[in-house]
Amino acid sequence: MSEIQLGYGLASIDFVFDENQFSLLANESVMRKPLSDAEIGVAFDSPIASPPPDEIFTGDDSVLIVVSDATRATASAQIVNLLVRRLLQLGVSPAGIAIIFATGIHRPVTPQEKIDLLTAFIVQRVRIIDHDAYDFAQLTSLGITERGTSIEVNSALKEFSQVVLIGGISFHYFAGFTGGRKSVCPGLASAKTIAATHMLALDFETGGRKRGVGNALLDGNPVHEECDRVAEIVAPAFGINSVVNTNGRAVGLFCGDWRFAHRAGCVDYLSEHSIAISSQRDLVIVSCGGSPYDINMIQAHKALDMASLACKDGGTIILLAECRDGLGRPDFIKWFDASDSHGLGKLLRERYEVNGQTAWSLMTKTERHRICLVSELPDEQVRRMRMIPFRTLSEALDQTPQKLDGYIMPRGAALLPQLEH
Longest dimension (CA), the chain: 67
User: How many other C-beta atoms lie within 10 A of the C-beta of residue 193?
Assistant: 26
411 and 308 together in one domain: yes
The identity of residue 136, as a single letter, is F
Residue pair 111/105 in contact (Cβ under 8 Å)? The answer is: no
Residue 32 lies in a domain: no
Task: Give the Cα separation of 23 and 66 in Å (integer).
Answer: 40
Domain count, the chain: 2
Asked if residue 236 has a cis previous peptide bond (ω within 30° of 0), the answer is no
**Is 405 part of any domain?**
yes
Q: Do residues 11 and 68 both lie within one domain?
A: no
333 and 231 share one domain? no
pLDDT tens string, the chain, 421 residues long: the values are: 899 999 999 999 999 999 999 999 987 545 689 999 999 999 999 999 999 999 999 999 999 999 999 988 999 999 999 999 999 999 999 999 999 999 999 999 999 999 999 999 999 999 999 999 999 999 999 999 999 999 999 999 999 999 999 999 999 999 999 999 999 999 999 999 999 999 999 988 877 889 999 999 999 999 999 999 999 999 999 999 999 998 899 999 999 999 999 999 999 999 999 999 999 999 999 999 999 999 999 999 999 999 999 999 999 999 999 999 999 999 999 999 999 999 999 999 889 988 999 999 999 999 999 999 999 999 999 999 999 999 999 999 999 987 889 999 999 999 999 998 7
β-strand partners of 23: 407
Helices (H) and strands (E) in the chain, counts: 14, 22
Rounded CA gap, 285 and 304, in Å? 10
**226 close to 200: Cβ distance less than 8 angstroms:** yes
Q: What is the CATH number of the domain that holds 223?
A: 3.40.50.11440
Residues 332 and 238 in one domain: no
For 145, the domain range is: 37-271
Judge if 196 and 291 occupy the same domain.
no
Cβ proximity of 289 and 304 under 8 Å? no
Provide the CATH number for the domain around residue 358: 3.90.226.30
Residue 365 and residue 252 share a domain: no
